[in-house]
């Protein structure tokens, strides 16, 4: 399918023969872009991801990549429903800086590769879903501990907290152990209830957090250790303040 994309680029010119210095001017134009089109049979569902809001998202598998439906709210504030192909142009190309026409067109052609129509519905590429153990607050039921699902890694969070889609039981076990260490006893029964990744195509699981990711942020790791080794949220709070003051003086 072809869509039209309005572009703006910078053209450098001499206002007259008397001028020796090139001047910039903005040029508006329209180009056509091709969006690949396939059917649902070509892109089977690899993962079915559910969350705490009781919503389910299908991750389709095509060309060794994962794809999910796009919604208008991702592009237009307050919009409802699925994104139409005619609205996709808002996400394509370069919208700032001084760029030549060639640079803008090349950026548009590169961006369009991240989108596809599956049975007429706009899909975008997405990273593999991962289980991640998340902690909040000072422990001892202040804040809490939860097993959630992320797409991709957060450099602040240690690789030990990430698990791929086939490691659900390991993820639940680790998160409950973390909750016990922190004293987040109110969360134990909830861990593993809401967030789930149903794996329909096992070969689509490629992530290996232990190899691909790092050890997290040292400062945040230290605060987490304080929460785990304190006897109450009040004690954890005081120790956190003291540790932060010491670190800031160095």
Distance CA 139, CA 200 (A): 36
Local mean pLDDT, 10-residue blocks, the chain (250 residues)? 90 85 90 94 97 90 97 89 90 82 92 95 97 97 96 96 98 98 96 95 97 96 96 96 88
- pLDDT value, residue 76: 86
Same domain assignment for residues 170 and 103: no
Residue 151 and residue 89 share a domain: no
Backbone dihedral angles phi then psi of residue 58, each to the nearest 5 degrees: -90, 130
Q: Say whether both 105 and 156 belong to one domain.
A: no
**Is 133 found in the same domain as 39?**
no
pLDDT, position 16: 84
Domain shared by 117 and 163, yes or no: no
- Please check whether residues 8 and 96 belong to one and the same domain: yes
* 167, 188: one domain: yes
Could you tell me if 116 and 139 lie in one domain? no
Which residues are paired to 62 by β-bridges?
A: 65
Range of the domain at 100: 2-126
Domain boundary among 126, 149, 181: 126
Q: Does residue 74 sit in the same domain as residue 190?
A: no
Q: Tally the domains of the chain.
A: 2
Whether residues 73 and 164 share a domain: the answer is no
Verify that 47 and 136 share a domain, yes or no.
no
State which of 75, 97, 126 marks the end of a domain: 126
**Residues 118, 123, 124, 128: what is their CA dihedral angle, to the nearest 10 degrees?**
-80
Torsion of the alpha carbons at 29, 30, 33 and 39, rounded to the nearest 10: 150
* pLDDT computed for residue 75 by the predictor: 87
Q: Whole-model pTM?
A: 0.89
Q: Tell whether 188 and 239 lie within a shared domain.
A: yes
């Amino acid at each position: 399918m072809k869509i039209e994309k309005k572009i703006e680029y910078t053209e450098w010119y001499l206002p007259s023969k008397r001028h020796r210095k090139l001047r910039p001017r903005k040029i508006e134009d329209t180009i056509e872009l091709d969006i690949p089109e396939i059917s649902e049979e070509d892109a089977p569902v690899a993962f079915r991801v559910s969350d705490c809001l009781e919503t389910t998202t299908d991750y389709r598998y095509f060309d060794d990549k994962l794809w999910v439906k796009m919604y208008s709210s991702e592009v237009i504030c307050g919009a409802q429903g699925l994104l139409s192909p005619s609205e996709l142009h808002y996400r394509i190309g370069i919208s700032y800086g001084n760029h030549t026409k060639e640079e803008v067109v090349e950026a548009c052609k590169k961006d369009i590769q991240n989108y596809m129509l599956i049975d007429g519905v706009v899909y975008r590429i997405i990273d593999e879903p991962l289980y991640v153990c998340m902690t909040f607050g000072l422990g001892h039921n202040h804040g809490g501990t939860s097993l959630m699902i992320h797409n991709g890694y957060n450099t602040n969070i240690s690789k030990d907290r990430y698990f791929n889609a086939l490691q659900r039981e390991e993820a639940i076990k680790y998160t409950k152990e973390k909750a016990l260490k922190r004293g987040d006893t109110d969360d134990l029964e909830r861990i593993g209830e809401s967030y789930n990744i149903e794996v329909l195509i096992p070969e689509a699981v490629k992530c290996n957090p232990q190899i691909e990711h790092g050890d997290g942020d040292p400062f945040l790791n230290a605060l987490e250790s304080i929460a785990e080794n304190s006897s109450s949220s009040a004690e954890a709070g005081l120790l956190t303040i003291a540790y932060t003051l010491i670190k800031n003086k160095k």
